Amino acid sequence: MQSQPTIRRLTKRPQFLAAAKGVSLSRGAVFIQRLDRRDEDPAIGVGFTATRKIGGAVVRNRAKRRLREAARALVPLHGVAGSDYVLVARQGTADRPWDRLLDDVASALTRLATLGGADPSRSRAPVPISDLPTPQDR
């Protein structure tokens, strides 16, 4: 039987900023960012955040508590070892039915597990001039 991966909390701002450079996916009431750390550490890092857009402190805290419980149940099952995840609460996270929230988190985690390490659409690498269409191509 396979042992459970070690889960550690992301607490520092640079860890959250690094995860934002990875792939991301939105499902229902949750937005999840995943960064493949590409190091030898098999631990899974998990962080949680909620902006003031979703409500006051009571609503934000409730949303983060619900995300923590969902992550506690699902990240060991669907998370990729050696990755960092940031779960971002969205507008309906605090009020979403529990089963639907679990479905949102599980589907996002499984989809992110199949995606590569970095999102090519978010790349800031310049396009070579030779790859740009010329007027004759139009």
Q: What is the pLDDT of residue 127?
A: 43
pLDDT averaged per 10 residues in sequence order, the chain, 138 residues: 80 94 94 92 94 95 96 93 95 95 95 69 46 54
Q: What is the pLDDT of residue 116?
A: 60
Q: How far apart are CA 66 and CA 70, in angstroms?
A: 6
Q: What is the pLDDT of residue 39?
A: 86
Q: In this structure, is the dihedral angle defined by the CA atoms of residues 17, 87, 110 and 82, taken in order, positive or negative?
A: positive
> In the chain, which ranges are continuous DSSP H helix?
13-20, 57-78, 98-114
Burial degree of 94 (CB within 10 A; 0-12, 13-18, 19+): buried
Domains identified in the chain and CATH numbers = 7-115 (3.30.230.10)
